[in-house]
């Protein structure tokens, strides 16, 4: 990856990684706030973990409102490396 590509990725990823929580201050769930394709890309790169619980007895997944999100160590490191792209 070139430096320019790394900067482009940081510009896209850091603003999300710096503030993402399961529910924001207004109570909005992360699945309602962010585009799912972006979340899947962050998860695929190991920058976030989306916890998708399953019902133990039935094996049926719980709906998205029960999902939670966590920034991984790699995601936190990316934010630390590019603080200039954090939201104000």
Per-residue pLDDT tens digits for 62-85: 999 999 999 999 999 999 999 999
What's the pLDDT score for residue 49? 98
SS3 category, 52: coil
pLDDT at 19: 96
Instruction: For each of the domains in the chain, give its residue range(s) and CATH number, in order of start.
Output: 3-81 (1.10.10)
34, 61 Cβ separation under 8 angstroms = no
Backbone angles phi, psi at 54, to 5 degrees: -120, 145
Which tens digits make up the pLDDT trace of 28-60?
999 999 999 999 999 999 999 999 999 999 999
């Amino acid at each position: 990856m070139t430096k320019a590509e790394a900067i482009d990725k940081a510009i896209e990823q850091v603003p999300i990684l710096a503030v993402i929580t399961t529910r924001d201050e207004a109570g909005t769930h992360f699945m309602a706030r962010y585009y799912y394709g972006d979340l899947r890309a962050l998860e695929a790169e190991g920058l976030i973990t989306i916890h998708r619980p399953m019902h133990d007895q039935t094996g049926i997944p719980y709906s998205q409102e029960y999902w939670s999100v966590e920034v991984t160590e790699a995601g936190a490191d990316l934010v630390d490396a590019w603080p200039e792209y954090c939201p104000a």
